[in-house]
């Protein structure tokens, strides 16, 4: 009997949870890290092993504190982020009474000028401009930034046309807007043509598996449409897309068969042990995150944004998370994890793993909720 496993390709798992602030498991001890993930973090951030472990420990505590701190902030919640310098969760609030409640949870409170809900509404209005066809191609993405109290719009440098100026003027009429041009280039989905490696294939597209679920796995929506047939790393039939959404979203799930089974790990690529995944707590902005993909394997960086809209040539994709992690063609659909907690699947970005770049992922808990999936955990 042929023994073909998803471990060969690279999968991870998470528990099913809905909502923006999630608590998929009981309060847990410190995350268990694979040597591969630890090595990737040390390389990305220039840390010793003890420093990397201490960083993950602090981020682990902040991630679990975030839901309680957000609830304490109530309607004055102005967003949250992890402060790497201080090693603490910071929660923005718009009044001092809320600040006292937040600090009672052990998080640090910071007075901000606008609530997260207000910034989200401004960002949604910019989305409406895009739906009306009024966002030029030189504008690549936009997201609410609680630290600056504005919606940050990324614009390709050197493309300050009259069309861009008109769009920015319109956007600023909707609310506070800041412009970023540093390192910005046009984003693209990270699917690739069929080349070698440890991928899955559909048509002439190569992508990476994200997270294993009961009956299959989740991945990126731009990799294939509903009903498309999927073939594994060895070109044997693996299954078919049971659901897919792109653009608008960038998620999909594949129902597997033909002797393939599912395991709750992220692939160690044969040189280190596979990384077990034990939940899907949503990590705050500012925490470290690592990505596994069939082209570039392990790379790490920092979560830079949440609820970001990406202005792909194929159409906008909403509610994404932006990171400083690099990726390349064929990494699409691959796993993003923080510690031992699944975060999402690779969508696209710009740059590469030689010169660096920016990458977005589709958050995992939304995928689970939309398709009613239950993921595997160790």
Q: d(Cα 36, Cα 49) in Å, to the nearest integer? A: 12
Residue 376 lies in a domain: no
Lowest mean pLDDT among 12-21, 51-60, 207-216, 357-366: 12-21
CATH number at residue 230: 2.40.10.10
Please say if 128 is a catalytic residue. Answer: no
CB neighbour list of residue 227: distance below 8 Å, 6 or more residues apart? 240, 241
83 confidence band (pLDDT: 50, 70, 90): very high
Which domain, by its residues, includes 221? 4-22+188-371
Angle subtended at Cα 65 by Cα 335 and Cα 218, rounded to the nearest 5 degrees: 20
* Residues 260 and 128 reside in one and the same domain: no
Same-domain pairing of 203 and 121? no
Residue 277 lies in a domain: yes
- End position of a domain, from candidates 180, 200, 230: 180
Query: pLDDT (tens digit, 9 = 90+) per residue, 171-216?
Result: 999 999 999 999 999 999 987 654 333 589 998 899 999 988 888 9
- Computed from CA positions of residues 354, 356, 358, 362, in that sequence, does the dihedral angle turn out positive or negative? positive
Higher pLDDT, 14 or 91: 91
199 located within any domain: yes
Please tell me whether residues 271 and 323 are part of one structural domain: yes
Q: Span 209-238, mean pLDDT? A: 93
* Position 119 pLDDT exceeds 50: yes
Same domain, 243 and 161: no
Given the residues 141, 244, 294, 332, select the one marked as catalytic: 332
Q: Are residues 233 and 133 in the same domain?
A: no
Q: Domain end: 180, 210, 234, which one?
A: 180
Q: Please check whether residue 154 lies inside any domain of the structure.
A: yes
Shared domain check, 164 and 292: no
Interhelix angle 49-73/35-45, nearest 10 degrees: 90
State the alpha helices, DSSP H only, in the chain.
35-45, 49-73, 96-104, 116-131, 162-174, 364-371
85 in any annotated domain: no
pLDDT band (50, 70, 90) for residue 261 = confident
352 and 254 in one domain? yes
Q: Is the pLDDT score of 23 beyond 60?
A: no
| Residue 76 covered by a domain | no
337 and 270 part of one domain: yes
**Residue 48 located in a structural domain:** no
Lowest average pLDDT, out of 81-85, 179-183, 230-234, 276-280, goes to 276-280
Same domain, 167 and 203: no
Mark whether 318 and 286 lie in a shared domain: yes
* 332 is annotated as an active-site residue: yes
Q: Give the C-alpha separation, 251 to 368, whole Å.
A: 10
Average pLDDT of the segment spanning 232-249? 94
CATH of the domain at 169: 3.30.300.50
User: Would you say residue 354 has pLDDT above 90?
Assistant: yes
Q: Which of 60, 143, 222, 299 is flagged as catalytic?
A: 222
**130 contacts: CB under 8 Å, gap ≥ 6:** 309, 311, 316
Which of 145, 198, 250, 331 does the annotation list as catalytic? 250
* Residue 248 and residue 348 share a domain: yes
Confidence grade of residue 14 (pLDDT, cut at 50, 70, 90): very low
Contact between 334 and 343 under an 8 Å Cβ cutoff? The reply is no
Phi, psi of 97 (to 5 degrees): -65, -40
Count of structural domains within the chain: 2
Model pLDDT, residue 268: 62
More confident residue, 29 or 187: 187
Two tokens, residue 229: 């047939």
* Residues 162 and 289 grouped into a single domain: no
Domain end point (choices 143, 161, 180): 180
* Average pLDDT in the chain: 88
Phi, psi dihedral angles at 347 (to 5 degrees): -105, -70
| Residue from 363, 359, 356, 362 nearest 44 by CA | 356
Percentage above 90 pLDDT, the chain: 74
Task: Kindly report, residue by residue over 284-306, the tens digit of the pLDDT.
Answer: 999 999 999 999 988 999 999 99
Active-site annotation holds for 311:
no
Contact 93, 109 (CB under 8 A): yes
- How many CA atoms lie within 13 Å of 161's alpha carbon, on the beta-carbon side? 10
Are 300 and 287 in contact by the 8 Å Cβ rule? The answer is no
Please report whether residue 98 resides in a domain.
no
Quickly state the pLDDT bin for 29 (edges 50, 70, 90): low
* Amino acid 273: pLDDT: 60
């Amino acid at each position: 009997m042929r023994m073909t496993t998803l471990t060969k390709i690279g999968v991870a798992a998470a528990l099913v949870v809905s909502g923006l602030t999630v608590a998929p498991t009981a309060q847990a001890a410190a995350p268990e890290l694979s040597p591969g993930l630890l090595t990737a973090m040390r390389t990305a951030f220039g840390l010793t092993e003890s420093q990397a472990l201490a960083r993950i420990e602090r981020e682990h505590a902040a991630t679990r504190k975030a839901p309680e701190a957000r609830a304490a902030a109530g309607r004055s919640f102005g967003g949250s982020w992890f402060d790497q310098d201080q090693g603490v969760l910071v929660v923005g609030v718009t009044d001092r009474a809320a600040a006292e409640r937040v600090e009672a949870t052990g998080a640090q409170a910071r007075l901000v000028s606008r609530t997260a809900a207000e910034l989200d509404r401004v960002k949604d209005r910019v989305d409406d401009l895009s739906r009306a066809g009024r966002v030029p191609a030189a504008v690549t993405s936009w997201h609410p930034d609680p630290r600056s109290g504005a919606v940050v719009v990324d614009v390709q440098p050197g493309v300050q046309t009259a069309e861009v100026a008109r769009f920015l003027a319109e956007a600023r009429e909707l609310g506070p807007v800041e412009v970023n041009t540093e390192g910005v280039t046009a984003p693209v989905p990270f699917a690739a043509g069929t080349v070698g490696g440890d991928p899955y294939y559909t048509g002439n597209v190569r992508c990476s598996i994200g997270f294993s679920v009961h009956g299959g796995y989740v991945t990126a929506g731009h990799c294939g449409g509903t009903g498309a047939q999927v073939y594994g790393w060895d070109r044997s039939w693996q299954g078919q897309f049971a659901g897919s959404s792109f653009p608008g979203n960038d998620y999909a799930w594949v129902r597997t068969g033909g002797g393939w089974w599912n395991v709750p790990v992220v692939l160690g690529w044969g040189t280190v042990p596979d990384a077990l995944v034990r939940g899907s707590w949503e990590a705050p902005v500012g925490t470290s995150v690592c990505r596994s993909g069939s082209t570039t394997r392990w790379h790490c960086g920092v979560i830079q944004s949440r609820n970001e809209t990406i202005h792909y040539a194929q159409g906008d994709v909403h509610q994404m998370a932006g990171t400083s992690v690099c990726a390349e063609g064929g990494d699409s659909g691959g796993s993003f994890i923080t510690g031992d907690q699944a975060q999402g699947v690779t969508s696209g970005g710009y740059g590469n793993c030689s010169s660096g770049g920016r990458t977005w992922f589709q958050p995992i808990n939304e995928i689970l909720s939309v398709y009613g999936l239950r993921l595997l955990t160790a």
